[in-house]
Chains A and B, each alone.
Chain A
């Protein structure tokens, strides 16, 4: 057993979830952008029907980790991944797996609202059409918009451009678009960073509803948000000792335990606000 896998197994012992409750089992050994080692040695299980929060200082690689979970990073030519991400018993980084297929099941909501330059209706129906959905399209669109708490605001202007909405509405539109196809897992990358407090609260309520049907992984830079919505929290930090800026998982556990009784000194400093 080499040093890397030893480090991995020691962390795995710190937070273990019954395999049948895991929807994804992510064993990240090394994530590179070119020669730059962005993330190392992190084991992050994503639990079924729970919200897993990723917190940590900026530059700790939490977004990189999230974007590795549905192979969005494959779009960056210099991205290189070592390790495995197991989803329903299948390593999604296996050579036989097409990243496009992965993204059909593991949806994503981005940091910046990014509606398409088309009508509100078409934005939500986009994924349904993409998957050649045969059922009642109107009903699906309404359901998705309702679950994103946007229906009452837009029901009379479904033909308007998605870009005509306010920032908060755009983000909820993007959430509606993501949930319309009912993906198995939803990855959310700081979905509230561009939102005002009211919209943030709406999105948080939405997340709590979504976990009934989905498994959610949430990156947030806002610790209060993690305590409000996350069932499990993973704390990442950044290691600058080797002259680089390499992110790694410090501690993972039930949210309350991580915030109230952190095991690692780094976590303790971070959650108490000593280290931003």
Chain B
């Protein structure tokens, strides 16, 4: 460091930062820059490593892997269409249920239905739903949910069996319990982001609605909901993204069966639970195929999440007038 040009200034205390101070400053800048770069390297390395491992399988099985339906290790035939179907179907069902519930709860929490204490209770309930681990939901699904819904499911099958959604009976694990648990698991995500979306709507918008003589529900449905719509859409997309990647509860509840069925009560499989259930015992060739499946899962979730983040950004900007 250059010498201090103000050294002659008469002051008893002030002095230049020491060489150590300047050194620490440089060091900190370098270190934090490095730490921020770590996340770039990490993502690059993840994509590279998964790509490298899956590459032999991608060469060997080609695009057929995506749309063929057999997974036969002995015959070395691998296709993940049933898993892609199961992933999308279970996530869509979960979104339908969890999305409606989540948005309803967001309305409930933000539109002055409750006094402070009750709304705090509900907030805590939603947060605790998010805190319960996936395996515990899986365990609960096996021993509580499946026995609970089986009589109803089988009644539906017996009376409305001609309807494709009820085409099979529920013998144990299957799409319905998996989607129900998945709905509970994405509910907190949807609710939390929707709550933010409602809170971003300026108070004056609500005031204007009431000022026109609307009832509370007219204000909510005709003014607040449209105003918060892009934020809610982001919540739904991100909740959907979460559902796509969810693993353990599904591996425990969906039945891991390689088939494509519209029936809510038939067993199915998802990409994530295929990985979970097949990976530990897989031989080298199957591992390559599983890596290919992992790449497919990565691609689907990345697309959905980036889309969700993009909508969220647009939604955040909406009221900032940018």
- A: residues with CB less than 8 A from B are 87-90, 96-98, 100-101, 104-105, 127-128, 131-133, 180-184
Contact = CB atoms under 8 A, between A and B. Distances in A.
A182 B12 contact: yes
B27 to A, nearest CB: 16
A127 B15 CA distance: 11
B18 A132 contact: yes
Contact of A88 (B2, B5, B17, B18): B5
Contact of B17 (A96, A100, A183, A184): A100
B1 A98 contact: yes
Contacts, number: 49
A183 B9 CA distance: 10
Given A98-B1, A132-B18, A105 B12 contact: no
A132 B5 contact: no
Contact of A105 (B1, B6, B17, B18): B6
A131 B17 CA distance: 7
Interface string B4-22: 1110111111111110000
Interface of A is mostly: loop
Interface of B: 1-2, 4-6, 8-18
Contacts of A98: 1, 16-17
B15 A182 contact: no
Contacts of B2: 96
Contacts of B8: 88
A160 to B, nearest CB: 25
A96 B1 CA distance: 9
B1 A90 contact: no
A182 B9 contact: no
Contacts of A90: 5-6
A184 B14 contact: yes
A182 B6 contact: no
Contacts of A133: 13
B17 A127 contact: no
Contacts of B10: 184
Contacts of A97: 5
A184 B9 contact: yes
Contacts of A96: 2
Contacts of B1: 98
Nearest to B2: A96
Given A90-B6, A97-B5, A105 B13 contact: no
A104 B4 CA distance: 11
17 contacts: A88-B6, A88-B9, A89-B5, A90-B6, A104-B14, A104-B15, A104-B17, A105-B6, A105-B11, A105-B14, A127-B13, A131-B15, A132-B15, A133-B13, A181-B14, A182-B14, A183-B11
A48 B310 CA distance: 57
Nearest to B16: A101
A215 to B, nearest CB: 11
Contacts of A105: 6, 9, 11, 14
Given A88-B5, A183-B11, 11 more contacts: A88-B6, A89-B5, A97-B5, A98-B1, A101-B6, A104-B16, A105-B11, A132-B18, A182-B11, A182-B14, A184-B10
A184 B2 CA distance: 21
A149 B93 CA distance: 69
B13 A182 contact: yes
Contacts of A104: 14-17
A182 B16 CA distance: 14
B23 to A, nearest CB: 14
Contacts of B6: 87-88, 90, 101, 105, 184
In the A-B complex, the 8 residue pairs with the smallest Cβ-Cβ separation, listed nearest first, are: A181-B13, A90-B5, A104-B14, A101-B16, A131-B13, A182-B11, A184-B9, A96-B2
A128 B11 CA distance: 12
